[in-house]
Structure 1
Amino acid sequence: MQISVSPFLRNVLLLDALATGATAIILAGGAHMLSPLLDMPRSLLFWAGAALVPFVLMVLAVSRRQTVSRIMLVEIIAINALWVLASFGLLVSGVISPNLLGVAFVSAQAIAVALFAELQYVGLRRQTA
């Protein structure tokens, strides 16, 4: 099912792509500086940033379309939700032991991603209602 991309949904998707793109640049490009500040493995930060690049490109492309499949929007929302779960899961798993700034950094980005997922869900519901 194709749905129209409303201005609200377009803006939310564009903001998601921009914020995620900035995060990718900060993580991948600044892993060597962030690692000691956050007490997190440099490779984790780098690869987390690198992994965001295809998602950024996909969300940016979707934000520029007039119509998009409902499934594509559901996938974007699901990927954002999985990122949130993985972020908090990483913190509670004990696999890494970030310092307080590291916990705050991971938590803040996860909360921002959760907000984007919620806004995208609201935009999707408005279009399919």
Structure 2
Amino acid sequence: MALLSSPRFLRNVLLADALSCVACGLLQVALTRPLESLLKLPAPLLLATGWFLLAYAGVVAAIATRSPIPRAPVWLLVAGNVGWALACVALLATGAAAPSALGTAWVLAQAATVAVLAQLQAMALRRPTPQAGWA
């Protein structure tokens, strides 16, 4: 797998994480009311998590652009992504919200996305020999 052995693999995964957070965050902040109606998710939840995602994207991007990429903060990002995925599942499992079918898909898509990103970040960190540009 040449992709996994690339010295830019972790940086690219982090940038993908940041971009996905920006996209989702902007949608949730800019279109809170229409999304509330469409997804049947509470506007305060959409707005708060949207702003959080935008701030989180900034942190992830800052880490991704460091040279070398510091490993300890990336492990915190892995934990944050796992936590986000679990929170998404818990939101649905506990009945804390009653989303529409599209809202359920929205939440599950976020859970799946961050779970995959966490896995890719962890895989990059577990490589036997760190690549150039890593701390």
Shift in Å, 1:78 = 0.4
TM-score (norm 1): 0.91
Q: Larger % of strand: which?
A: 1
Residue of structure 2 equivalent to 1:105: 106
SS of the aligned residue for 2:69 comes to strand
- Per-residue displacement from partner, 1:76-120 (whole Å, max 9, x unpaired)? 100011000001100111111111111011001110111111110
The 3 A distance-change label for structure 1 pair 59 and 123 is same
- Per-residue displacement from partner, 1:19-66 (whole Å, max 9, x unpaired)? 111111011111111001011111110111011122111110111112
Percent sequence identity over matched residues? 39
Unaligned runs of 5+ in 2: 1-6, 131-135
Q: Larger % of helix: which?
A: 1
How many residue pairs match? The answer is 125
Contact 2:81–2:118, Cα closer than 8 Å, also in 1: yes
TM-score (norm 2): 0.87
Residue of structure 2 equivalent to 1:67: 68
Letter paired with 2:8? P
**Structure 1 segments (4+ residues) deviating >2 Å:** none
The 3 A distance-change label for structure 1 pair 64 and 90 is same
Q: CA RMSD in A?
A: 1.6
Unaligned runs of 5+ in 1: 1-5
